[in-house]
Chains A and B, each alone.
Chain A
Amino acid sequence: MKPGAVAIVGAAETTRLGLVPDMSQIQLHADAALNALADCGLTPKDIDGVACAAEWPTELAHYLGITPTWVDGTMVGGCSFMLHVRHAAAAIAEGLCTTVLITHGESGRSWVGSQAVGINQASLAGQFELPYGVLGAPTMFTIPVLRYMKDHGLTHEQLANVAVVQREWAGMNPRATHRDPITVQDVLDSKLIAYPFHVLECCLVTDGGGALVLTSAERAKDFPTRPVYILGTGESVETPMISQMQDFTSSRAFRVSGAKAFAEAGITHADVDHLMIYDAFAHLPIYGLEDLGFVGKGEAGAFIWERHTAPGGKLPMNTNGGGLSYMHSGMYGMYALQESVRQMRGIAPAQVAGAKTSVCHGVGGMFGASGTIIMGNALP
């Protein structure tokens, strides 16, 4: 895809985030969608492409009264929205549709109108992982990290520090769920969830949603919002079984997706002003920094410790507070994209002064899938 051919012109989260027990899951999609459409002065009738996960696009299109000519129901977990952006950009560039609405809504805390999907006992994960007592992401996503710690010398303090730094960013964000400063010792003293992970190293569980509107860069000029251009995109998958990940210290999906996005955008790491790395658990920014090539193997824990990703650092990362402190409804990717858009528009609560290029990297289904979107606020 040609860098800058497509732009995000509308972006918004649900009116409320956190605890929203008076809205069902599909209504969270709609609330975010109506906010994003209002953001760019459109109505559902102007939309001819829809994409979403956790609900079917059929449900969404009917609920909002949209007649699409392009539909994407890609569901690979929390980074599904990065893949939707990538697919939508290609579809718009190819002329399959002109204006795409991507939505996310999840009643992750209140469980209103959502349905739990368990592991199929006949699947390979059901036969060869489920019997050993895995119970959701905290007991699976976390398994590789002890191997990483032994092989690369990452300390418990460095792991805890990921949450500490992100809380600093959250402190600057009025919408963040948790804003009070925490220390490494606070993290290490917090309740054990799945050793070596404490509760403060695990994502929040909240209700909310977000939506994006994309169109061609040519049309984007006519919208009231500052266009945020799609410069590069990547996606990949590896395995639905955490035990079968090729390398417990590095994600193949991260490496493939990230390299593809950087190559497509034609940028180097030095060009990146702002970075989002999906942080369902504290080790993900560490894997992400290394697998995207921002630092060398085994260096990310020290890099974060040395405050390079903290407020005032050279590589501001997870500036909304992340899944650890901002919000996490279950599939966080949409909220990472929203923060990248805000940063590129220059309207983020913790705005990175003069930021021109943002990398937004997502993960889904434990280390199963990945999507990377590189955005810019100027045409290349």
Chain B
Amino acid sequence: MIGSPAMSINPKTLPRPTPETRHFWEGAKLGELRLQQCDACTHVYFPPRPFCPECASRQVSVVRASGRATLYSYVINHRLPKWIDAPYAIAVVQLEEGPRMMTNILGVPQTPEALVLDMPLEVVFESVSADIALPKFRPARGDAR
């Protein structure tokens, strides 16, 4: 375990992949953060769709992200569900490639003092079931990807 937050698994909050998102979850299991890029206009996007949200082209490719990101915004939830035992941050990170995604920040106290906007982060994968590894982020050490 990489560190806080101490979140146990609630099966009702696990992602249920669809045909359009399977590449993402298959990548995550292999430790790869996968985005998509439009072959026509080069737009890199997330969340997954089998067409480009900018130009509607169906010619798109799966690309591997660097895993490098910065902390864009967050809240620290203090109204805890049964399966979580301490306040935790729900964060949005800015990926180096452009898209943003929701995540949790590991390996750092879940406090405003420790969670500084724009701090550099890198992806780590947390296995939560036989099929699902969730991309999460920790302060950058420089060995992402």
In this complex, how many residues of chain B approach chain A with their Cβ under 8 Å: the count is 38
Per-residue A-contact encoding for B90-118, CB less than 8 Å = 1, 0 else:
11100000001111100000001000011
Known: A132-B104, A147-B117, A243-B100. A127 touches B75 (CB 8 A): no
State how many angstroms separate the Cβ of B74 from the closest Cβ of chain A: 6
Please state if B16 and A134 are interface contacts (CB–CB under 8 Å): no
Main secondary structure of the interface of A (DSSP, over half): mixed
In this complex, how many residues of chain A approach chain B with their Cβ under 8 Å: the count is 36
Q: From A171-179, A187-195, A285-293, give the one contacting chain B.
A: A187-195
For chain A, residues 19 to 63, give those with C-beta under 8 angstroms from any C-beta of chain B: none
Please state if A135 and B103 are interface contacts (CB–CB under 8 Å): no
Is the C-beta of B42 less than 8 angstroms from some C-beta in chain A?
Answer: no
Is the C-beta of B61 less than 8 angstroms from some C-beta in chain A?
Answer: no
Q: State which of A121, A134, A197 has its C-beta within 8 Å of the C-beta of B90.
A: A134
In Å, the complex CA distance between A142 and B92 comes to 12
Is the C-beta of B55 less than 8 angstroms from some C-beta in chain A?
Answer: no
Please state if B101 and A128 are interface contacts (CB–CB under 8 Å): yes
Please give, as numbers and ranges, the residues of chain B lying within 8 Å of A243 by CB-CB distance.
92, 100-102
In Å, the complex CA distance between A192 and B110 comes to 14
**Count of CB-CB pairs between chains A and B under 8 Å:** 110
Is the C-beta of B78 less than 8 angstroms from some C-beta in chain A?
Answer: yes
Please state if A127 and B117 are interface contacts (CB–CB under 8 Å): no
B47, B84, B88, B91 interface centre (most CB from chain A within 10 Å) = B47
Is the C-beta of A124 less than 8 angstroms from some C-beta in chain B?
Answer: yes
Is the C-beta of A126 less than 8 angstroms from some C-beta in chain B?
Answer: yes
Is the C-beta of A264 less than 8 angstroms from some C-beta in chain B?
Answer: no
Please give, as numbers and ranges, the residues of chain A lying within 8 Å of B134 by CB-CB distance.
131-132
Please state if A143 and B90 are interface contacts (CB–CB under 8 Å): yes
Known: A122-B16, A131-B134, A243-B102. A146 touches B73 (CB 8 A): yes
State how many angstroms separate the Cβ of B80 from the closest Cβ of chain A: 9
Please state if B73 and A121 are interface contacts (CB–CB under 8 Å): no
Known: A133-B7, A133-B104. A194 touches B16 (CB 8 A): no
Please give, as numbers and ranges, the residues of chain B lying within 8 Å of A124 by CB-CB distance.
21, 47
Known: A128-B15, A146-B117. A135 touches B81 (CB 8 A): yes
Please state if A121 and B16 are interface contacts (CB–CB under 8 Å): yes
In Å, the complex CA distance between A132 and B74 comes to 12
In Å, the complex CA distance between A194 and B72 comes to 16
In Å, the complex CA distance between A252 and B79 comes to 29
Per-residue B-contact encoding for A97-135, CB less than 8 Å = 1, 0 else:
000000000000000000000100110101111111111
Per-residue A-contact encoding for B46-63, CB less than 8 Å = 1, 0 else:
110000000000000000
Please state if A194 and B13 are interface contacts (CB–CB under 8 Å): no
Please state if B74 and A143 are interface contacts (CB–CB under 8 Å): yes
Is the C-beta of A231 less than 8 angstroms from some C-beta in chain B?
Answer: no
Q: State which of A127, A129, A147, A193 has its C-beta within 8 Å of the C-beta of B21.
A: A127
State how many angstroms separate the Cβ of B31 from the closest Cβ of chain A: 17
State how many angstroms separate the Cβ of B97 from the closest Cβ of chain A: 15
Please state if B77 and A194 are interface contacts (CB–CB under 8 Å): yes
In Å, the complex CA distance between A144 and B90 comes to 11
30 residue pairs from A and B, CB less than 8 Å apart = A121-B13, A121-B14, A121-B16, A122-B17, A122-B18, A124-B47, A126-B16, A127-B16, A127-B17, A127-B21, A131-B128, A131-B134, A132-B104, A133-B5, A133-B7, A133-B90, A134-B90, A135-B79, A138-B77, A140-B90, A142-B75, A143-B75, A143-B92, A146-B73, A146-B75, A146-B117, A241-B47, A243-B101, A248-B72, A248-B92
Q: Apart from A146-B117, A147-B72, A243-B102, what 13 extra A-B contacts exist at CB < 8 Å? A: A121-B12, A124-B21, A126-B15, A130-B15, A131-B14, A131-B132, A132-B90, A132-B134, A146-B74, A146-B75, A194-B79, A242-B92, A244-B100
Closest 10 A/B residue pairs (Cβ): A127-B15, A195-B76, A147-B73, A243-B102, A194-B75, A122-B16, A121-B16, A192-B78, A124-B47, A243-B92
